[in-house]
A and B are shown apart, each in its own frame.
Chain A
Amino acid sequence: MSLADRQDTLPAAWEGGMGSAGDYIALLKPRVMSLVIFTAFVGMMLAPGNVHPVIAVVAILCIAVGAGASGALNMWYDADIDRVMSRTAKRPIPAGKVTPDEALAFGITLSIGSVLTLGLLVNWFAGAFLAFTIFFYAVVYTMWLKRSTPQNIVIGGAAGAFPPMIGWAAVTGNVSLESFVLFLIIFMWTPPHFWALALFKKGDYETAGVPMMPVMAGETVTRHNILAYSILLAPIGVAPYFLGYASIAYGMMAGALGLAFVALAYDVWRKREGDVARVACVRLFKFSLYYLFLLFAGLLAESLVKGFVA
């Protein structure tokens, strides 16, 4: 056998090596990554102090790769339940494009790489914070809470809420009340956002045996919780104005969006049966995406305007 032939063969017992670069990018959950990049960027822009633009880009890149790595670890561990849920059945592992071992190696490599790069090139506090976030998402949420408690989304949501704090930490080297409020906005937003999805995808979670609240506690309890969290979220969304790092314009926008969020949550709470109930859940789920984007876009726009004026 020539060397050229040998390069195109694999041992008979070999498994893997079938995924394209695109399949590996899919393991990083690019849509979640884009939200992480955006919120981390807002955290960096709002943080007091200056950071060199190159360092800022490196920090964002590391946070994005770290988030992607935790997504890959999540897909490695959850391959069994992804296989039986319609929303996730086409992911690279259940689709047979990437083996679980490859996804695990990929996730661990990127985790270590992103944490070390962030620590070495930006600061070690931000690096340690990123390491903690990856651990929280991959181990605390994915391996422990997700399959054991209906509160999985509430506590696990913290992992998705840390990026703006990491962005803040990349600039200042520490965290503060202002960055904690950014965390709190995403933390309180996550349960109603996911429970609205879980209500109209309940069958999927039942099939997979994931103890999401609609499956374990019932749809009525879930609707009570969605409304309660929405009522708590609305004032927290306005908190940046009350704490003095956002203008009255932001305060009014956040207030109006918060009221709309509560109104839609009330609609979900009120409509319990049939297609109207499903439509109400879909509307809340879609609006929640706009809500979070608009709050952070508002904060970002204000910090850019302040930067130009100063």
Chain B
Amino acid sequence: MSGEDNGIKLTDDQKSKRRSRSIAIAVTLFTLVVVFYIVTIVKMGPDILNRPL
């Protein structure tokens, strides 16, 4: 992007749509992290506390 006349200025509607997409991506990533964390604990079972430190 070299100059100010070389782009499209986003409208308020476009900005709010972009924000909704960003929030959706953040929620999805956070959910994935939580899911993998919980499933790891579920799969390891009680042995998770019985490991060499």
Contact (Cβ within 8 A) A10 B39: no
Residues 1-41 of chain B: 1 if any A CB is under 8 Å from the residue's CB, otherwise 0?
Answer: 10110111110001111101101100000001001101100
Is A55 in the interface zone, CB < 8 Å from B?
A: yes
Is A17 in the interface zone, CB < 8 Å from B?
A: yes
Expressed in whole angstroms, the minimum distance between the Cβ of B11 and any Cβ of chain A is 9
Contact (Cβ within 8 A) A54 B10: no
Cα A24 to Cα B9 in complex, Å, equals 23
Cα A117 to Cα B35 in complex, Å, equals 10
Residues 50-73 of chain A: 1 if any B CB is under 8 Å from the residue's CB, otherwise 0?
Answer: 001011001001000000000000
Residue in chain B with minimal CB distance to A11: B7
Cα A12 to Cα B1 in complex, Å, equals 9
Cα A121 to Cα B31 in complex, Å, equals 14
Is B53 in the interface zone, CB < 8 Å from A?
A: no
Is B42 in the interface zone, CB < 8 Å from A?
A: yes
What B residues does A11 contact at CB under 8 A? 1, 6-8
Most buried by A among B18, B24, B38: B18
Contact of B42 among A12, A54, A117 (CB under 8 A): A54
Contact (Cβ within 8 A) A8 B6: no
What B residues does A121 contact at CB under 8 A? 35-36, 39
Number of chain B residues close to chain A: CB under 8 A: 23
* Chain A interface size range: 20 to 34
What A residues does B6 contact at CB under 8 A? 11-12
Residues 4-24 of chain A: 1 if any B CB is under 8 Å from the residue's CB, otherwise 0?
Answer: 011011111010011111111
Is A1 in the interface zone, CB < 8 Å from B?
A: yes
What A residues does B3 contact at CB under 8 A? 1
Contact (Cβ within 8 A) B10 A9: yes
Residue in chain A with minimal CB distance to B39: A121
What B residues does A58 contact at CB under 8 A? 35, 39
Contact (Cβ within 8 A) A21 B7: no
Contact (Cβ within 8 A) B24 A24: yes
Expressed in whole angstroms, the minimum distance between the Cβ of A267 and any Cβ of chain B is 45
Contact (Cβ within 8 A) A22 B20: yes
Interface residues of B (CB under 8 A from A): 1, 3-4, 6-10, 14-18, 20-21, 23-24, 32, 35-36, 38-39, 42
Q: Other than A8-B10, A17-B14, A19-B21, give 13 A-B pairs with Cβ distance below 8 A.
A: A1-B4, A8-B15, A9-B9, A10-B7, A10-B8, A11-B1, A11-B7, A14-B8, A17-B18, A18-B14, A21-B20, A21-B21, A121-B35
Interface residues of A (CB under 8 A from B): 1, 5-6, 8-12, 14, 17-24, 52, 54-55, 58, 61, 117, 121
Q: List 22 A-B contacts (CB under 8 A).
A: A1-B1, A1-B4, A6-B1, A8-B9, A8-B10, A8-B15, A9-B1, A9-B10, A11-B7, A11-B8, A12-B7, A12-B8, A14-B8, A17-B14, A17-B18, A18-B17, A19-B17, A20-B21, A21-B24, A22-B20, A52-B42, A117-B35
